[in-house]
Amino acid sequence: MNSPIPRRALIGLLVASLFPAMSTIAQEAPAAQEKGPAAADAMLHALDVKYPTRYKPMEANEVKAVLDRVFAYLDRTTPAELIHKGDNSRITDLSKAEPDAVLKPGDFRLTSYEWGVTYLGMLAAGQATGDQRYTDYTLTRHALLSQLTRTYLPVVQADRANSLAPIKSFLNPHALDDAGALCHSFLKAKVGGSKVDYSQMVGICGDFVTKHEYRLKDGTLARGGPDGKGGRKMRPLPDTLWLDDMFMGVPTMAYLGKVTGERKHYDDAVNQVLQFSKRMFNPKLGIYMHGYVEGMRDHPELRWARANGWAVMAMVEVLEVLPKDHKGYKAVLDQLRAHIKGLAGYQTKDGFWHQLIDRNDTYQETSATAIYTYAIARAVNRGYVDAQMYGPMANLAWNAVASKVTANGQIDGICVGTGMAFDPAFYAYRPTSVKAAHGYGPTLLAGAEIIEMNKKYKFGLNDSGLMFQGARQ
């Protein structure tokens, strides 16, 4: 008749069969085994977890390594040169108007709104890393645009319809996309001490944003105004609000207030934030719809991720320069906090946000995740939200974005340029591309702000969770 197996040996066999990797630990710790289920539970609690997205903060040098790859790619593929269209030879004397001149082609346009964001990202990365190359990237291209403006503005003003100019869309803007983000980058560089002459450029784009873009009766920036022929433009419908325009116009207003000292620009910026939010923010969900048409009874509320990114980014940019004694400061801050709190509930287990934020059947999108990373980390750094609650989320989001930066500095998972629709299929099936310019500036901004946040606060694992561990000395 077999002898009964001793209790200690029985527990060891059970652990070894269920968790082979722990069998050695079980054999070497009989004292712990004698404590029974509590010891076994402790060992289970300490098991390694295979997170698909890195689950610890990046050191500053690690973040910079990611940003350096992005910088190298962009510096190589966005030349700051004017060439003859016929033979591609470089034009060195920019003061002479050349009818056949064009900017040397690269992967991206130097005067797109996306590149306005990229200029902001380069400035932020230069400040966070101390690497002058990032700052010089922006200032070199700003200086080129300033010289081209001096050369070609008279030509465009003389014949707006038929003139040729390598930066005509900026010199003769027709939409906020042509002017707003670029102007924001000019003003931010000027506030930061840039010696580039921005006077003409700010005059063009600042006037367009504040005086010429179509508005609703209450002053809210809108699309789909008069077409000049007695009809209405369709963008996509008359009197349409695009959430994107919170960023395309509002930070420029706030920075004009900073640069000129004119209070009316601060007032305009605050009113835009509150009027967009009144129409488009869902307070129960904590996120915005993408499109709103004035006078329509119902809206399906398609909550596109990148548009929500433009909104949250607009608010942190406005608060950066809005005087704290302004009567609208608290309202903008409260709206920012409500939006960040709402976004927090939709971050995926991999650290991203979905293309349609509240639709898990849409893909995880990189550019929106990068913008949220920047805005949330900036809000933590400025004390708008609690570091304890939102710092870990921002670190996870940055790690998700960094995982999409390829070895050659391109960025995967960026939704291409997107119009507006009132059905989910349109957003869900928008393609992604490494050539979509919208993700590069936000990635630079995100990495820069994460460096700043992790310089200021310490985060690490505590009881297996990524936690705030206090302010650094």
Q: For 93-112, how does the pLDDT look when each residue is reduced to its tens digit (9 = 90+)?
A: 988 877 779 999 999 999 99
Domain ranges, residue 20: 7-45
Domain containing residue 436: CATH number:
1.50.10.10
Residue 268 and residue 407 share a domain:
yes
User: Are 358 and 400 part of one and the same domain?
Assistant: yes
Q: How many residues does the chain have?
A: 473
Q: Both 27 and 164 in a single domain?
A: no
Residue 34 binned pLDDT confidence (cut-offs 50, 70, 90): low
pLDDT band at residue 191 using 50, 70 and 90 as cut-offs: very high
Do residues 150 and 282 share a domain?
yes
Q: Using the predicted structure, report yes or no on whether residue 25 has a pLDDT greater than 60.
A: no
Contact 343/286 with Cβ under 8 angstroms?
Answer: yes
Going by pLDDT thresholds of 50, 70 and 90, the confidence category of residue 35 is low
pLDDT in tens, 269-320: 999 999 999 999 999 999 999 999 999 999 999 999 999 999 999 999 999 9
Residue 195 within any structural domain of the chain? yes
Query: Between these two residues, 256 and 160, which has the higher pLDDT value?
Result: 256
Residue 199 has pLDDT above 90, yes or no: yes
Looking at the domain assignment, is residue 429 inside a domain? yes
User: What pLDDT does 4 receive?
Assistant: 55
Q: Looking at the structure, tell me whether residues 38 and 80 fall in a common domain.
A: no
Global confidence as pTM: 0.91
* C-beta separation of 290 from 311 below 8 A: no
Q: Which amino acid is at 424?
A: P
| Confidence label for 26 from pLDDT (cuts 50, 70 and 90) | very low
User: Mind listing the pLDDT tens digit for each residue in 200-237?
Assistant: 999 999 999 999 999 999 999 999 888 888 888 888 99
Question: Is the same domain home to 245 and 350?
Answer: yes
List Cα–Cα distances, 410 to 69, 249, 416, in angstroms.
8, 28, 14
Give the residue, 14 or 435, on which the prediction is more confident: 435
Claim to verify: residue 15 and residue 100 sit in the same structural domain? no
Q: How far is CA 442 from the centre of its chain?
A: 4
In whole angstroms, give the CA distance from residue 235 to residue 223.
Answer: 6
**Which tens digits make up the pLDDT trace of 429-462?**
999 999 999 999 999 999 999 999 999 999 999 9
The share of the chain scoring above pLDDT 90, in percent, equals 83
CA distance 279 to 245: 14
What is the structure's pLDDT at 8?
54
Element holding 240 (H helix, E strand): strand 240-242
Residues 174 and 285 in one domain: yes
- What single string gives the DSSP state of each residue in 9-55? HHHHHHHHHH-GGGHHHHHH-HHHHTTTHHHHHHHHHT-----SS--
Cβ pair 336, 384 in contact under 8 A: yes
Residue 178 has pLDDT above 90, yes or no: yes
- Residue spans of alpha helices (H) in 231-304: 245-260, 263-280
Q: For residue 440, is it left (φ>0), alpha (ψ between -120 and 50) or beta?
A: alpha
Contact (Cβ atoms closer than 8 angstroms) between residue 170 and residue 204? yes
Higher local confidence (pLDDT), 33 or 221: 221
What is the predicted pLDDT for the residue at 402? Answer: 98
Q: Is residue 53 part of a domain?
A: no
Question: Residues 149-153: what's their mean pLDDT?
Answer: 95
Task: Write out pLDDT tens, residues 232-263.
Answer: 888 899 999 999 999 999 999 999 999 999 99
Whether 336 and 285 map to the same domain: the answer is yes
Tell me how many domains the chain contains. 2
CB 46 within 8 A of CB 25: no
Query: Using CA atoms, how far apart are residues 381 and 280, in angstroms rounded to an integer?
Result: 27
Residue 381's Cβ-count burial label (10 Å; 0-12, 13-18, 19+) is buried
Look up residue 294 and give its two tokens.
């004035």
Rounded-to-integer distance, Cα 73 and Cα 247, Å: 26
Instruction: For residues 37 and 454, give the distance between their C-alpha atoms in angstroms, rounded to a whole number.
Output: 39
